[in-house]
Amino acid sequence: MLEITLFYIAATVALVATILAMTRANAIHALIYLIVSLLAVAVIFYLIGAPFAAALEIVIYAGAIMVLFVFVIMMLNLGEKGDAREKQWLSPAVWAGPALLAVVLFAELLYVISSANGPVSTGVVSAKQVGLSLFGPYVLAVEIASMLLLAGLVGSFHLGRRYLDRNTPEEEKSQRGAE
Amino acid sequence: MNASQMQALLPVLILSLTAVVLMIQASIKRDQKLAWIISALGFLCTLWATGYAREFAQPVTILLQVDSWSLFFSALVVFAALVTLVLSRKSFSPEGERKEEYYLLLVLSVLGAVVLIQSSHMVSLLLGMELMGVALYAMIAFPEKGLLPLEAAIKYLVLSACASAILLFGFALLYAATGQLSYVGIGQQAATAYLSNPLLVMAGTAMVISGLAFKLSVVPFHMWTPDVYQGAPTPVTGFLATVSKGAVFVALTRFYMDAQLYQYQPLITALSIIAVASMLIGNLLALRQEDIKRLLAYSSIAHFGYLLVVLITLTGTGMASDAVTFYLAAYILTSLAAFAVIARVAGEDQHKTQIAAFEGLFWRDKIQATALTVAMLSFAGIPLTAGFMAKFYVVSLAIQGSYWFLLSALVIGSAIAIYYYLRIIFSMSKTSVIDSVGDIGVQDYSANLTALLLTALILMLGSWPQPFITFAGGL
């Protein structure tokens, strides 16, 4: 019964955060809600006995990918306008919602860790088991996934290059001036 | 994995090797001619390997099922890719544009299609479909000039992502119901799971089929098709119409058979509705098209409606799987011929893909006009072409199983279709414009040779199908 309640709390947090992420007009607000949503999914993984998947979810999705997004958006916001906008992002109205949802998840996690027998009812999937099946029966899937990444890399390289090859307006102006 | 399994996997291995060699070549010295030759050699070796691997047919790990059926379709897909490669050599290549990435993406996309064809497990189904799709998005948006390719790529990307999400949700529901991820495993468990929880099994199957149906662009999942067909570069459109759709249909057939989905009546009803809607709506909407690429987009919707009729009549044994083989082979060859002619005659010019621009083609370029005529007749299902034999299979299967409702939709759809296919032929034979339109330029021997080869194959399949039928029966 307990696990079910915990699961539903985390699932509700995930749903609410995802819906808010989709409806925000500002990219940074949306991304922060998306991070909370990914954290909630990680908690669900943890509750159903897959701590390794939970850790990966946090390290890769919420950590690496989302932080990369936030960095890029913040880097593009240079100049005084950007400063003003970043100040606006630091107002409580922006971070209060995501923080509240994250606190719910954190409380849930604390409760699970402090309770003696843990929430798991069906056994834990360890990192070793994940590795064994990835490089055992699913070894071809790993190889095909590597090709999938290659396709994504080459495709995004080609699509991005049309903007890299072209000179920026400032450079073109200076070239014309030199002539 | 032992040596015998490695040999069974040879087509996949050679394609992967080609991709790696192309990467290395691009990093040493960028040369698009060399890249073209490497890709062509890779495809030819893969074609040979699909024949070689037949002696080693077996399941390779739990993910792939290498058997003569999947090897035949792998060969067909690689052949289609080879034709695409020949068509792409001259098209959308303005001075200075580098195309090595295009060839690399083409090889990767074919690799995805082959994995999809050989898959016997949800994981390889998804990975193959994504690999094929991700490479295709970039191929559609490849030309650096013009907004239409970008628009087409974004539409395809967003809707494909939606379809993949639905597919994954379907997998999750089926896994919850049966605890299995392989097609055969689902087939063994689904019947018992259906008794205890019919909703879960049906919702899961319906979502998986919707995800695949999006890629096949059957009604009501067809909205993206005309825009993407029109916006993509013509050789890529041909690739999308043949390789992508063909591979997904093979995967769907295998899933349908191995998971024994033919025993669920609600599912058959849903599939019948989709098939009838595709046949009628696809053909009706094609009537009013002025752009030949959009017209072929709607016609492909109708053709996958006909193919779904074959799927519905599949009940585990007999002639139906031959019919899938024959229909897909005929459809892929005919589409290739049509797009080869369009790529040669119209290139990437948006005005030249109008049907009006094809007027008088018989007097400007006899070979291409003949090839397009044969392709249109084959699409319409006129005797002596491959399309006739294919449709003959469908009709006789529908009669045997007494699917009268489907049959009547098929007949009405085909009757409508004859109008717009013949309209293109009439347009090509108009004499009024001979003087005003000049010659289409220098002779292109590779394009003429491709068109002639495909025409010969279509006519051979239609007029002397016996060797192929025996061959398909042995698969």
Contact B195, B264 (CB under 8 A): no
Residue contact A147–B23, C-beta within 8 A: no
Sign of torsion over alpha carbons A24, A25, A29, A32 = positive
Q: Exposure of B129 by Cβ count < 10 A (0-12 exposed, 13-18 middle, 19+ buried)?
A: buried
Interface test with A, best of B14, B99, B100, B115 (most A CBs within 10 A): B115
Is the pLDDT assigned to residue B107 strictly greater than 70?
yes
Is the pLDDT assigned to residue B462 strictly greater than 90?
no
The residue behind tokens 């397009």 is B372
pLDDT average, residue stretch B446-470: 88
**Rounded Cα gap, residues B212 and B129, in angstroms:** 9
Contact B368, B341 (CB under 8 A): yes
CA B311 to chain centre: 16
| Max CA pair span of chain B | 73
pLDDT at residue B81 in the model: 94
Q: Vertex A38, ends A36 and A41: CA angle to 5°?
A: 115
Contact B379, B419 (CB under 8 A): no
pLDDT average, residue stretch B380-393: 90
pLDDT average, residue stretch B145-168: 90
Contact B26, B104 (CB under 8 A): yes
Question: 10 Å Cβ neighbour count for B271?
Answer: 22
Selection from B78, B80, B102, B72 nearest residue B90 by Cα? B102
Judging contacts by C-beta atoms under 8 Å, the chain B residues touching residue A149 are: none
Q: Which residue of B has its CA nearest to A148?
A: B131
**Rounded Cα gap, residues A139 and B182, in angstroms:** 15
B146 Cα to chain A: minimum distance (Å) = 12
pLDDT at residue A122 in the model: 65
Joined tokens for residue A86: 């970043």
Judging contacts by C-beta atoms under 8 Å, the chain B residues touching residue A140 are: 60-61, 63-64, 124
Report phi then psi at B411, rounded to 5: -65, -45
Percent of chain B with pLDDT over 70: 94
Residue contact A141–B134, C-beta within 8 A: no
**Under the phi-then-psi rule, with left for phi > 0, alpha for psi from -120 to 50, and beta for the rest, what region is B66?**
beta
A153 Cα to chain B: minimum distance (Å) = 10
pLDDT digit string, tens, across residues A122-134: 677 888 888 898 8
Q: Is the ipTM of this complex over 0.95?
A: no
Mean pLDDT (chain B) is 88
Mean pLDDT (chain A) is 80
Q: What is the pTM of this model?
A: 0.90
Element of type H or E holding B12: helix B10-28
pLDDT at residue A164 in the model: 67
Is the pLDDT assigned to residue B128 strictly greater than 70?
yes
Task: Report the amino acid identity of residue B250.
Answer: V
pLDDT at residue B203 in the model: 92
**Rounded Cα gap, residues B206 and B202, in angstroms:** 6
Task: Report the amino acid identity of residue B428.
Answer: M
**Under the phi-then-psi rule, with left for phi > 0, alpha for psi from -120 to 50, and beta for the rest, what region is B16?**
alpha
pLDDT digit string, tens, across residues B234-288: 899 999 999 999 999 999 999 998 888 888 888 999 999 999 999 999 999 999 8
The residue behind tokens 């999809």 is B116
Residue contact A154–B141, C-beta within 8 A: no
Residue contact A148–B130, C-beta within 8 A: yes
The residue behind tokens 């060969």 is B75
pLDDT at residue B153 in the model: 92
Regarding predicted confidence, which is higher, B473 or B316?
Answer: B473
Is the pLDDT assigned to residue B475 strictly greater than 50?
yes
A24 Cα to chain B: minimum distance (Å) = 19
